[in-house]
Amino acid sequence: MTNTDDGSKILKTDALGRVRTPAARREQLLDEFERSGVSGAKFAGLTGLKYQTFASWLQRRRRGPTARANTPGDPASTVRWLEAVVGTVADNQKDPALPLHLPGGTCLEISCASQIPLAAALVRALEKAGAC
């Protein structure tokens, strides 16, 4: 099916009458939105798009081309276990430390709560690098 918006341009529609927007035009609209500084709802209204359609385009763009659902067998969907041992601190031990044993033999000890964000950032960086 075809539909014309002003008589000079033919827009493709699907069986339900929805206008099919080419990928290049979607990218152009998303680029304009990022430069505009207005809310998504306002931009969708200004461009004649349904907000839900615009929001789904934006979400797909932000996820990127590598985003995909976790399927069995994907490294991202595998279960990872962390062993934590809880015990009591001996009276003679002033500063207890939490040891973290990472793959590859790396050991890290956390001795105060302020080190937790640093340790978490290290584990995330190692995971992104493929070391964990």
Better pLDDT: 89 or 22: 22
88 occurs within a structural domain: no
Task: Please state, for a pLDDT cut of 70, what percent of the chain lies above it.
Answer: 66
Q: If pLDDT is split at 50, 70 and 90, which confidence band does 57 have?
A: very high
105 occurs within a structural domain: yes
Is the model's pLDDT at 65 over the cut of 80?
no
Is the model's pLDDT at 3 over the cut of 50?
no
CA distance 65 to 79: 24
82 occurs within a structural domain: no
Closest listed residue to residue 27, CA positions, set 2, 67, 62, 1: 62
Average pLDDT over the chain reads: 76
**Enclosing domain of residue 21:** 2-63
Same domain, 59 and 98: no
26 occurs within a structural domain: yes
Better pLDDT: 32 or 88: 32
Chosen domain end from 19, 41, 63: 63
Chosen domain end from 13, 46, 63: 63
**Token pair of 47 as six digits:** 């461009």
81 occurs within a structural domain: no
Confidence (pLDDT) at 90: 60
Same domain, 7 and 50: yes
Chosen domain end from 63, 82, 103: 63
115 occurs within a structural domain: yes
Same domain, 8 and 49: yes
Confidence (pLDDT) at 4: 46
CA distance 107 to 16: 59
71 occurs within a structural domain: no
Helix (H) or strand (E) holding 101: strand 98-101
One-letter amino acid of 45: G
Q: If pLDDT is split at 50, 70 and 90, which confidence band does 106 have?
A: confident
Give how far the C-alpha of residue 44 lies from the chain's centroid of Cα atoms, to the nearest Å.
Answer: 23
CA distance 31 to 57: 12
14 occurs within a structural domain: yes
Q: How many domains does the chain have?
A: 2
Is the model's pLDDT at 54 over the cut of 50?
yes
